[in-house]
Structure 1
Amino acid sequence: MKKIINSSKAPSPIGPYNHAVQVGDLLFISGQIPFDQATETLIDSGIADETKQVMENLKAILSEVGMTFENAVKATIFIRDMEQFSIINEVYGSYFKQETAPARECVQVSKLPRNVNVEISMIASK
């Protein structure tokens, strides 16, 4: 049975989806963009700040069901410019321990919602 998960600390979905869906021990988190729910602003002050906000949004959704980044098993990073990969990777990596970091891929795309530069989705497991 699936359980719908939404967090008041993450940006409201901008389409017909929820923040996450939990099925058993698995949590499937929708792609998060650098929108700060607290200030209701899109963060566009540089790729490091944008990536940090995305990770904080993911963290808020994970915590909604009592999980942390330690529970992450898979992540997908979508970026508009592969030249920014090293900065994104540095910020992203600061949220994980090397020995428990999830599997992941990073894909360059031509456009993302609200014209942001980075979006990350995640799967976690209890």
Structure 2
Amino acid sequence: MPERTAYTFDPSTGVPPGVGPFSHAVRWGDTLYVTGQMPTDPATGQLVPGDVVVQTKQVFRNLAAVLAQFGAVLDDALMVRVYLTDFTDYDRFNAEYVSWFSGPLPARTCVGSTGLAVGATVEIDLIVGIRS
């Protein structure tokens, strides 16, 4: 049976500091579970101001920074879970979302939320297949 390994990264890796008590990622065999990333600037630990498109770009940069620690990329994502605080942003979010993938899109769930940590408008977590 594979062993579960948790990872927490320093902001010098481009991964922002956590906003709560959690690991940035947990690996189980060839599967990586990436904690929901916020639109946080890794250099300052502060929320990036802006609309859903600006914040989505930062969230994807943060996710890519976590994946880079494992030699993985966004196209390795199997499942994506998105949280939006305003569903009137859904179409604008989707237009930005698809620009981050070059291969077939992963499975996805998008959930409306009344609030997210640090006042963000978007949060995204991933389940990723790691190539051996």
**TM-score, structure 1 length as denominator?**
0.93
Q: Which of these residues, 101, 107, 112, is aligned with residue 103 of structure 1?
A: 107
User: Which residue number corresponds to residue 3 of structure 1?
Assistant: 5
Shift of 1:2: 1.2
Give the gaps of 5 or more residues in structure 1.
none
The alignment covers a number of residue pairs equal to: 125
- Do structure 1's residue 74 and structure 2's residue 46 form an aligned pair? no
State the alpha-carbon separation in 2 of the partners of residues 95 and 62 from structure 1. 13
Q: Distance in 1 between matches of 2:49 and 2:93?
A: 14
1:65, distance to aligned residue in structure 2 (A): 0.5
Q: Distance in 1 between matches of 2:115 and 2:75?
A: 30
Percent of aligned pairs with the same residue? Answer: 33
Q: Secondary structure at the match of 1:83?
A: helix
State the alpha-carbon separation in 2 of the partners of residues 21 and 107 from structure 1.
Answer: 22
Q: What is the correspondence of 1:1-126 to structure 2 with a 5 Å cutoff?
A: 1-7=3-9, 8=11, 9-97=14-102, 99-126=103-130
Which piece of structure 1 moves more, 51-60 or 87-96? 87-96
Cα distance in 2 for residues equivalent to 1:39 and 1:53: 13
- Following TM superposition, by how much is the alpha carbon of 1:60 offset from its aligned partner in structure 2, in angstroms? 0.3
The alpha carbon displacement at 1:68 in A equals 0.4
Q: Which protein is richer in strand relative to its size?
A: 1
Cα drift, residue 50 of structure 1 = 0.2
Query: Is the Cα contact below 8 Å between 1:6 and 1:61 reproduced in 2?
Result: no
TM-superposed CA distance for 1:115, in Å, is 1.6
Quote the Cα distance in structure 2 between the aligned partners of 1:40 and 1:33: 10
Tell me if structure 2 keeps the 8 A contact 1:5–1:64. no
Deviation at 1:10, TM superposition (A): 1.4
8 Å CA contact 2:17, 2:45 repeated in 1? no
Letter of the 1:93 partner, please give it. Answer: V
